[in-house]
């Protein structure tokens, strides 16, 4: 990992609701100027952790600090940290512009930021429309605009991918990378793990409130995609037999019939195919194995699944 100081520091953070342990002794740092993905299945404890960082929930134990301080001790919180927690927070009868103007005025932020953030998230044309008519994707953009009003160095985004279409997800990825390139620190939660992981510099994975992985993306990729190959051919059964004979493990991709191969590298797959005259239509790293890796990592314990 690059040598960066931690902007967000979580230590022994725990939250119990009666007998439910929503967050269980979490300890992690989020380094400055990175996009860090906070990943886990539904109910893993992501939102509760973010709410505690924002002072909206009181920890049962432990601490959560931003820039060395608890949220409640920040002098000008919206200038220190922006958050997207719930994209339905805007009043449906208000226009996007009025919603942001109201937020700016009530938080003593300059009015010119409203126009700036509407432009940043691509809502300039829709600024005069009532939020009631917004798609979920537009609401997410408005929520991100609100988070950016105070021009904060730290952003906490809870499930910003929800409701976005493929184009919206592409936009969000580039947008988050741009924020980090400006030196901002972005913590972005998602249950769509592979989708968001590939945007991030660093991954934090939680399951049942516990930290399961805290790793730079390249290390995670190296561990979970090296030695896993995806190969396309018009003769899948023949190639499958040849690869099995070469000692590989081979499965078929349910979506498109490509072979997913483990245990031999891409060069060996190519050599086997060439020796037996099997034409290939595709040969590369098996990126889908990333989602499998997350699902394996976050699988509920057998007794919990029963
Ligand atoms: N106010 C509450 N009262 C009781 N239980 C709660 C409360 N808030 C959260 N929980 C429970 O705590 C656990 C963690 O919930 P949390 O919302 O933090 O998970 P999450 O990872 O954000 O999931 P999701 O993606 O579904 O929001 C869940 O079991 C949830 O039911």
Distance CA 13, CA 72 (A): 16
Last residue of a domain, one of 184, 215, 246: 215
- Return contacts of 174-179, CB within 8 angstroms, 24+ apart: 175/121, 175/144, 176/35, 177/35, 179/35, 179/155
Predicted local distance difference test score (pLDDT) of residue 226: 64
Strand 185-190 versus strand 35-39 pairing type: parallel
If asked whether residues 203 and 246 sit together in one domain, one would say no
If asked whether residues 171 and 284 sit together in one domain, one would say no
- The domain total for the chain is 2
If asked whether residues 209 and 234 sit together in one domain, one would say no
Last residue of a domain, one of 215, 242, 269: 215
Task: Give the residue, by CA position, lying nearest to ligand 1 atom 7.
Answer: 17
Give pLDDT tens digits along the chain (306 positions).
Answer: 445 678 999 999 999 999 999 999 999 999 999 999 999 998 999 999 999 999 999 999 999 999 999 999 998 889 999 999 976 677 888 999 999 999 999 889 999 999 999 999 999 999 999 999 998 889 999 999 999 999 999 999 999 988 888 888 888 999 999 999 999 999 999 988 877 877 899 999 999 999 999 999 888 877 776 668 899 999 999 999 999 999 999 998 877 789 999 888 889 999 999 999 999 999 987 766 677 788 888 877 655 444
If asked whether residues 192 and 235 sit together in one domain, one would say no
Whether 87 maps to a domain, the answer reads yes
Ligand 1: atom nearest CA of 45 is: 18
Sign of the dihedral defined by the CA atoms of residues 123, 126, 132, 136, in that order: negative
Task: Tell me phi and psi for residue 252, to 5 degrees.
Answer: -100, 140
Distance in Å, CA 22 to ligand 1 centroid: 6
Residues 278, 239: contact at Cβ < 8 Å?
Answer: yes
Predicted local distance difference test score (pLDDT) of residue 192: 84
The CATH number for 254's domain is 3.30.70
The SS3 call for residue 89 is coil
Residue 66 belongs to domain spanning: 6-215
Distance in Å, CA 60 to ligand 1 centroid: 15
The CATH number for 119's domain is 3.40.50.300
Distance in Å, CA 197 to ligand 1 centroid: 21
Decide whether any atom of ligand 1 lies within 6 Å of the 140 Cβ. Answer: no
Whether 298 maps to a domain, the answer reads no
If asked whether residues 139 and 258 sit together in one domain, one would say no
């Amino acid at each position: 990992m690059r040598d960066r100081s931690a902007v967000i520091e979580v230590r022994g953070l725990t939250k119990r609701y009666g007998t439910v342990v929503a967050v269980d002794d979490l300890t992690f740092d989020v380094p400055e100027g990175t996009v860090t993905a906070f990943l886990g299945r539904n109910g893993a404890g992501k939102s509760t952790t973010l709410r505690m960082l924002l002072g909206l929930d009181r920890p049962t134990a432990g601490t959560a600090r931003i820039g060395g301080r608890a949220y409640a001790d920040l002098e000008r919180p919206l200038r220190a940290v922006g958050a997207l927690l719930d994209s339905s927070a805007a009043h449906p009868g208000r226009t996007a512009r009025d919603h942001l103007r109201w937020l700016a005025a009530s938080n003593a932020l300059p009015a010119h930021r409203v126009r700036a953030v509407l432009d940043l998230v691509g809502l300039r044309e829709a600024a005069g429309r009532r939020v009631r008519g917004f798609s979920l994707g537009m609401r997410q953009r408005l929520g991100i605009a609100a988070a950016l009003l105070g021009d904060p160095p730290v952003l906490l985004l809870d499930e910003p991918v929800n409701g976005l279409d493929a184009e919206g997800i592409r936009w969000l990825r580039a947008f988050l990378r741009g924020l980090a390139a400006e030196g901002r620190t972005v913590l972005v939660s998602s249950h769509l793990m592979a989708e968001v992981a590939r945007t991030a510099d660093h991954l934090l994975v939680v399951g049942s409130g516990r930290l399961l992985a805290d790793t730079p993306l390249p290390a995670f990729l190296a561990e979970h995609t090296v030695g896993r190959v995806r190969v396309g051919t018009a003769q899948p059964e023949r190639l499958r037999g040849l690869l099995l004979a070469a000692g590989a493990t081979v499965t078929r991709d349910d979506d498109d019939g490509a072979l997913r191969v483990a245990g031999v590298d891409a060069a060996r797959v190519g050599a086997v195919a060439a020796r037996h005259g099997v034409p290939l239509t595709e040969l590369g790293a098996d990126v889908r194995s990333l989602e499998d890796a997350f699902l394996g990592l976050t699988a509920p314990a057998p007794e919990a699944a029963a």
